[in-house]
Amino acid sequence: MMVGAIPATAPVTPEERGVYSTVTTILIIPYVKPAQIDEGLPFPDKRMFLEMTYKPRSTPMLKVALAHGWHGIDGIQATIEQGLAQQRMWYLSDPSLRAGSDRSIFGIELEDSTRKLGESMNDIIPTCTEVDRALFNDDADALTDH
């Protein structure tokens, strides 16, 4: 499994382009499914690429992983599953792995409808210039166009 969390902007600097080159080098390594051992989870048929960035959903890095035969999990799917696990734990006041993984707490039908709702939403499209508020000392300055 590989986890991506690179902003989905086009790489500009040599260092940023180097990240894509390095990751692509890893992504093209052929996958040979290991022999199954008696205990534990089964090995996947494809390697998994978990993209934590969700704006846009189909990031350049996720596209590269899919093009090389990896199973892609986009940031929206990851966020939905994380939210469901947290809700289960919150509801039971039980922060255990057992509680977070128990799909029967809210029911499969409710959870599936939650997934469908989240996955059906469109990408967020900014309607104004995005501002990195961390660059400003005063919050009021961040609200004006620079």
Supply the DSSP string of 6-33, one letter for each residue: --SSPP-SHHHHHHHHHHHHHHTSPP-P
85 contacts 47 by C-beta, under 8 angstroms: no
The confidence score (pLDDT) of residue 105 equals: 93
- Tell whether pTM > 0.75: no
The confidence score (pLDDT) of residue 122 equals: 83
Give the type of residue at 45. Answer: D
Q: What is the average pLDDT value for the chain, to the nearest integer?
A: 85
Over residues 45-63, the pLDDT tens digits come to 899 999 998 888 888 889 9
d(C-alpha 18, C-alpha 11), whole Å: 9
The confidence score (pLDDT) of residue 139 equals: 56
The confidence score (pLDDT) of residue 9 equals: 76
User: Which residues partner with 72 through β-bridges?
Assistant: 49
Query: Which region holds residue 107: left if phi is over 0, alpha if psi is between -120 and 50, else beta?
Result: left
d(C-alpha 85, C-alpha 95), whole Å: 9
Over residues 66-91, the pLDDT tens digits come to 999 999 999 889 999 999 999 999 99
pLDDT-derived band of residue 138, with 50, 70 and 90 as boundaries? low
Q: Mean pLDDT across the stretch 79-108?
A: 93
Q: How does DSSP classify residue 104?
A: T
